[in-house]
C-alpha cells in the first residue's frame, strides 16, 4: 500500500503569546501640569513645617504626617480665614506620597495611622467647626492659681515632682507668653534665653500664616508672686532637664528626692545649661518619672490641662471645653478685662487687628450694658 500524500493544509500554530501591557502603574504616571504644580507647593509647605518643628521630611514617619494634618486642621486657616477642607488635606497626603515614590521610598501616607487621622478629620470637618479661640474656654489667672495650687499639693514623691514642674511651666509659660499649643510643642531649649532683670525671652519658630503677623519673640518678665512667676517655673523645670540630660534618672532622683522648698523667687539665680540645647523643652514623662527625648505633643498638652483642671475640682462640662488654646485665650481675655493697653496685648500675641481680640471677650448681658441707665431719665 502506498503512503498517503502529505496534506496541503498549513500546520497548526501555537496560540499567540499575550503581549505585556504598556500601561504604567498609576503611581509611576507623572501628574498633569496643574497637579504637579499643586504637589510642588504642597511639598514645600510640608518641608517648611518639618524644618520648623525639627522633623524629618524625607523619608517622613507616618506619625509626622498625622501630626502635620492634625496641626493644620486644628490651628491653621487659609489666607481667607477658612479652615482647610478634607479634600485639601487628602491632596497634601497624595503630594507627600508622590515625592516619596519618586525618591524611591514607600509612600508613608498609606500607613493606617495617616488614614485614621484623615478619617477622624472627615468625621469632624475642620471647615464646619468654629475658630478654636471661640470654642475653647479661657483659663484666667484665678483658674491658673487654683490649678497650680492643687497640682503642687498632690506631690508625694520625686516622680510626681517631675510632672508637677513640667506642667506648671507649661501652664505659666503658655499663658504669659500667649503661646499656641503648637508653639509649646516645638519649643527647644535654645529658643529660651534669660535675663535677671527682664525675664525670659522666648523665640517661637512655629510658622504662622501671612495674615497673622506674629512676632517671633515674646518677653515673660518676673511677676510679684513667685508661685505664678513664669521665669521661676521655667527655672524649676530647667533644673530637671539638666539633671536628666546630664546623668539620667539618678540625677533627677538626687534633685527631687528632697527638693528645696519653693518659697521664694528663684529666677534671679543663674540657670543651668543643659548639654543638649536643641532638645525639646517640654517632653512626655513616663509613669516612673523618666523623661523621653521627643517633644510633648499638642494633644498631650490638651490632655494635661484637662486632667489638672479636673483634679482641681472643675466640673466635667467646663473641663470638656478646655484645651491647649485655653492658655492663649485666657491671657487675652484677662488682659482685656484688666484694661491692659490693646497694642501691648497685640505685641505679645502677634495679632495685627483688634477685631480678633474682641472675640475673646464674653458676650455682655443686656442688664450690664443697658443704655437706658446712662441717659439720665
- Which of 3-12, 86-95, 237-246 has the least mean pLDDT? 3-12
Indicate if the pLDDT at residue 123 is higher than 50.
yes
Which positions ≥6 away from 98 have C-beta within 8 Å? 31, 39, 107
Cα–Cα separations (whole angstroms), residue 11 to 4, 5, 20, 336: 17, 15, 27, 98
CA–CA separation, 219 vs 366, rounded Å?
A: 38
Percent of the residues in the chain that have a pLDDT greater than 90, as a whole number: 51
DSSP 291: B
Query: What is the per-residue pLDDT for 7?
Result: 43
Q: Is 4 exposed, middle or buried (0-12, 13-18, 19+ CB in 10 A)?
A: exposed
Q: What is the pLDDT of residues 270-311, one digit of tens each?
A: 888 999 999 999 999 998 999 998 999 888 999 999 999 999
Whether the predicted pLDDT of 21 surpasses 50:
no
pLDDT for the residue 116:
85
Burial class (CB in 10 A: 0-12, 13-18, 19+), 88: middle
> Would you state the pLDDT for residue 105?
94
Per-residue pLDDT reduced to its tens digit, 344-377: 998 888 877 777 777 777 655 555 556 665 565 6
pLDDT of amino acid 377: 60
Looking at per-residue pLDDT, the higher value among 60 and 128 belongs to: 60
What residues does 83 pair with on adjacent strands? 77
What's this model's pTM, rounded to 2 decimal places? 0.64
Partners of 194 in the β-ladder? 200
CA–CA distances in Å: residue 193 to residues 162, 169, 217, 238, 339: 22, 15, 10, 12, 29
Asked if residues 321 and 305 have their Cβ atoms less than 8 Å apart, the reply is: no
Q: Where are the beta strands (DSSP E) in the chain?
A: 192-195, 199-203, 217-220
pLDDT digits (tens, 9 = 90+) for 136-162: 899 999 999 999 999 999 999 999 999
Cβ proximity of 204 and 281 under 8 Å: no
- Give the SS3 label for residue 191: helix
The whole-angstrom separation of Cα 358 and Cα 344 is 15
Q: When comparing pLDDT for 37 and 190, which is higher?
A: 190
Amino acid at each position: 500500500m502506498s503512503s498517503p500524500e502529505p496534506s496541503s493544509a498549513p500546520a497548526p500554530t501555537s496560540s499567540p503569546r499575550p503581549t505585556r501591557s504598556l500601561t504604567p502603574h498609576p503611581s509611576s504616571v507623572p501628574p498633569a501640569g496643574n497637579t504637579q504644580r499643586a504637589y510642588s507647593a504642597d511639598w514645600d509647605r510640608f518641608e517648611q513645617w518639618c524644618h520648623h518643628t525639627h522633623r524629618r521630611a524625607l523619608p517622613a514617619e507616618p506619625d509626622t504626617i498625622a501630626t502635620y494634618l492634625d496641626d493644620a486642621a486644628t490651628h491653621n486657616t487659609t489666607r481667607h480665614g477658612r479652615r482647610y477642607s478634607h479634600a485639601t488635606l487628602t491632596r497634601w497626603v497624595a503630594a507627600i506620597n508622590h515625592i516619596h515614590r519618586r525618591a524611591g521610598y514607600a509612600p508613608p501616607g498609606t500607613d493606617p495611622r495617616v488614614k485614621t487621622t484623615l478619617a477622624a478629620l472627615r468625621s469632624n470637618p475642620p471647615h464646619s467647626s468654629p475658630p478654636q479661640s471661640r470654642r475653647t474656654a479661657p483659663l484666667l489667672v484665678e483658674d491658673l492659681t487654683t490649678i497650680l495650687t492643687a497640682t503642687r499639693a498632690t506631690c508625694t514623691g520625686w516622680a510626681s515632682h517631675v510632672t508637677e514642674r513640667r506642667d506648671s511651666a507649661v501652664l505659666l509659660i503658655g499663658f504669659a507668653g500667649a503661646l499656641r499649643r503648637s508653639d509649646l510643642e516645638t519649643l527647644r531649649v535654645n529658643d529660651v534665653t534669660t535675663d535677671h532683670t527682664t525675664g525670659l525671652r522666648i523665640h517661637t519658630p512655629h510658622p504662622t500664616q501671612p495674615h497673622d503677623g506674629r512676632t517671633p519673640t515674646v518677653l515673660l518678665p518676673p511677676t510679684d508672686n513667685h508661685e505664678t512667676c513664669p521665669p521661676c517655673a521655667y527655672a524649676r523645670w530647667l533644673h530637671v532637664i539638666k539633671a536628666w540630660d546630664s546623668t539620667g534618672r539618678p540625677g533627677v532622683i538626687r534633685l527631687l528626692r528632697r527638693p528645696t522648698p519653693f518659697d521664694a523667687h528663684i529666677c534671679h539665680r543663674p540657670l543651668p545649661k543643659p548639654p543638649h540645647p536643641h532638645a525639646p523643652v517640654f517632653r512626655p514623662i513616663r509613669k516612673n518619672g523618666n523623661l523621653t527625648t521627643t517633644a510633648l505633643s499638642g494633644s498631650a498638652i490638651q490632655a494635661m490641662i484637662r486632667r489638672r483642671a479636673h483634679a482641681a475640682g472643675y466640673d466635667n462640662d467646663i473641663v470638656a471645653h478646655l484645651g491647649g488654646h485655653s492658655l492663649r485665650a485666657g491671657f487675652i481675655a484677662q488682659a482685656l478685662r484688666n484694661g491692659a493697653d490693646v497694642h501691648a496685648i497685640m505685641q505679645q500675641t502677634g495679632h495685627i487687628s483688634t477685631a480678633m481680640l474682641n472675640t475673646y471677650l464674653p458676650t455682655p448681658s443686656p442688664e450690664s450694658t443697658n443704655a437706658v441707665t446712662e441717659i439720665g431719665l
